[in-house]
């Protein structure tokens, strides 16, 4: 398998007492192993939460006293958003799942990555493709020989209704 991908750099801006723009955080968050719910294996799945907030609109006036990215968060905060980087090893697949959020999935690296929907549709993705998940049940498959890297931006959303029924969250 190819070498692990280097963690992206994160630069967070804020304001000083005079209202001037300043860099508050400049780092490379650790992308740490994460358990694959299907297999229990953590060797081929890594993730890092780069930012989250729990308000909309976001409050950009509050001083940043500590890192707003809580790596323990698994769900999108109610009324908030999440930015996560996820790496999938070669041959790894996620289980089918649905979150109550609007998700932007951007494929940053990978040589054969697929998205599967619960109706059986499979879409092959290329680096640079952006998938907009609107509360659908889906899975990711890395069928390539290289690590795949996604940037996920998750925004809290109202539950989807279909046929007069509210569709439930389906977590891995």
pLDDT in the model for residue 1: 44
Query: Could you write out the three-class secondary structure of 21-76?
Result: EEEEEEECCCCEECCCCCCCCCCCEEEEEEEEECCCCCCCCCCCCCCCCCCCCCCC
Tokens coding 63: 């001083």
User: 10-158 has which CATH code?
Assistant: 2.60.120.10
What is residue 104's predicted lDDT score, i.e. its pLDDT?
96
pLDDT of residue 57: 84
Parse the chain into domains and list their residue ranges.
Answer: 10-158
Average pLDDT by stretches of 10, the chain with 172 residues: 74 88 88 69 75 82 59 72 92 93 96 96 97 96 96 94 94 82
Q: Tell me the whole-structure pTM to 2 decimals.
A: 0.85
């Amino acid at each position: 398998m190819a070498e692990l991908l280097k963690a992206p750099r994160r630069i967070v801006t804020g304001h000083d007492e005079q209202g001037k723009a300043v860099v508050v955080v400049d780092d490379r968050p650790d992308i740490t192993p994460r358990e694959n719910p299907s297999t229990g294996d953590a060797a081929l799945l890594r993730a890092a939460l780069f930012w989250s907030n729990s308000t909309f609109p976001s409050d950009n006036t509050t001083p940043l006293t500590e890192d707003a990215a809580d790596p323990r968060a698994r769900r999108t905060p109610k009324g908030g958003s999440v930015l996560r980087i996820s790496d999938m090893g070669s041959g790894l697949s996620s289980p089918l799942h649905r979150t109550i959020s609007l998700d932007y999935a951007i494929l940053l690296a990978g040589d054969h990555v697929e998205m599967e929907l619960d109706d059986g549709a499979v879409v092959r993705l290329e680096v640079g493709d952006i998938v907009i998940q609107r509360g659908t049940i889906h899975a990711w498959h890395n069928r390539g020989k290289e690590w795949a890297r996604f940037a996920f931006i998750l925004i809290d959303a109202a539950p989807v209704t279909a046929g007069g029924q509210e569709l439930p969250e389906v977590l891995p």
